[in-house]
Amino acid sequence: MALPILSPPDQVAVHLRGEILSGRWKDEMPGVAHFQKELGVNNVTINAALQLLEKEGLLVGQGRRKRRRINMPKQLSKARKLRVRILLYERAGEALSVNTELLSKLQETGYAASFARKTLADLGMDAGRVAKFVEQTPVDAWIVIAGSRDVLEWFSSQPVPAFAMFGVKSGLPIAGTGPRRDLCTLIKRLVALGHRRIVMLARDERLIPKPAFFEQSFLDELRKHGIKPNSYNLPNWGHSADDFHRCLDSLFQLSPPTAL
pLDDT band at 191 (very low <50, low <70, confident <90, very high): very high
Q: Are residues 173 and 193 in the same domain?
A: no
**Are 167 and 122 in the same domain?**
yes
Look up the CATH number of the domain holding residue 42. 1.10.10.10
Q: Kindly state whether residue 101 falls inside one of the protein's structural domains.
A: yes
Has residue 260 been placed in a domain?
A: no
Please indicate, yes or no, whether residues 90 and 173 belong to a single structural domain of this protein: yes
Residue 137 falls inside a structural domain:
yes
**Distant-in-sequence, close-in-space partners of 133: CB < 8 Å, separation ≥ 6:** 116, 118, 123
Identify whether residues 28 and 59 lie together within a single domain: yes
Number of domains in the chain: 3
pLDDT value of residue 173: 92
Q: Which of 15-24, 30-39, 113-122, 245-254 has the lowest mean pLDDT?
A: 15-24
Whether 34 and 25 have beta carbons less than 8 Å apart is answered as: no
User: What average pLDDT does range 78-107 have in this prediction?
Assistant: 83
pLDDT single digits (tens) 154-168: 999 999 999 999 888
Same domain, residue pair 36 and 22: yes
CA distance 204 to 219: 16
Q: What integer pLDDT is reported at residue 81 of this predicted model?
A: 72
Banded model confidence at residue 5, pLDDT cuts 50, 70, 90: low
Q: Is 5 part of any domain? A: yes
Answer yes or no: do 91 and 168 share one domain: yes
Domain assignment present for 136: yes
pLDDT greater than 60 at residue 77:
no
Q: Which strand (E) or helix (H) includes residue 250?
A: helix 241-253
Q: Which of residues 174 and 211 earns the better pLDDT score?
A: 174
Q: Are residues 187 and 225 in the same domain?
A: yes
Residue 247 counted as domain residue: yes
Percentage with pLDDT > 70 across the chain: 95
166 and 245 belong to one structural domain: no
Half-sphere exposure of 63 (CA within 13 A, CB side): 1
From 177, 195, 215, the end of a domain falls on: 177
* Strand blocks (E) in the chain: 59-60, 69-70, 83-87, 112-115, 141-145, 162-165, 175-177
Q: Please check whether residues 167 and 201 belong to one and the same domain.
A: no
The rounded percent of the chain whose pLDDT value lies above 90 is 37
Does a structural domain hold residue 259?
no
Count the alpha carbons within 13 Å of 223 in the hemisphere toward its beta carbon.
Answer: 8
Residue ending a domain, among 27, 51, 78, is 78
The rounded mean pLDDT for the chain is: 86
**Domain match, 102 and 144 both:** yes
Cα four-point dihedral sign 127, 131, 133, 137: positive
For position 4, what pLDDT does the model report? Answer: 56
Same domain assignment for residues 233 and 200: yes
Residue 208 within a domain: yes
Is the pLDDT at 75 greater than 60, yes or no?
A: no
pLDDT in tens, 6-59: 788 888 888 888 788 777 787 889 888 888 888 888 989 999 999 999 998 889
Q: What residue numbers bound the domain in which 104 lies?
A: 80-177
121 and 64, same structural domain? Answer: no
**Using an 8 Å Cβ cutoff, are 120 and 162 in contact?**
no
For the residues 175-196, what does the mean pLDDT come to?
87
Q: Say how many CA atoms lie within 13 Å of 210 toward its Cβ.
A: 5
Q: Which amino acid makes up residue 115?
A: F
Bigger pLDDT: 122 vs 23: 122
End position of a domain, from candidates 131, 154, 177: 177
